[in-house]
Amino acid sequence: MKLQDMYPAVLTLVLVSILLGVGLTVLGNLSTAGGISPAASTAVNSSITAIDDFVPWFTVIVVIIAAAIIIGMVIRSFSGSR
């Protein structure tokens, strides 16, 4: 694994973070907006809860990806290949 191989992983993590933030913001604004039916409000609140359950795992995923990149670089440096 080369240092350049980190770019796609980091870019993916940043994009997922942005999408989670924007998605939760939009859903939060939609759930407090007036004029939506009770069924739509329930669906929006269920979506917020589902996404909110995923958010704590995102930190674990980031740590695992970072550890995999670091371990790959260490193993490659000790193996003698370039």
Per-residue pLDDT of the chain (82 residues), as tens digits, is 566 777 887 888 889 889 988 988 888 888 877 778 888 888 888 988 888 888 888 889 888 888 888 888 888 888 875 5
Give pLDDT, residue 3: 66
Residue 21, Cβ neighbours under 10 Å: how many? 11
Give pLDDT, residue 40: 83
Give pLDDT, residue 30: 83
Give pLDDT, residue 81: 57
Judge whether 66 and 9 are in contact, CB under 8 Å: no
Residue 77, sorted as left (phi over 0), alpha (psi -120 to 50) or beta, turns out to be: alpha
Whose tokens are 């080369």? That residue is 2
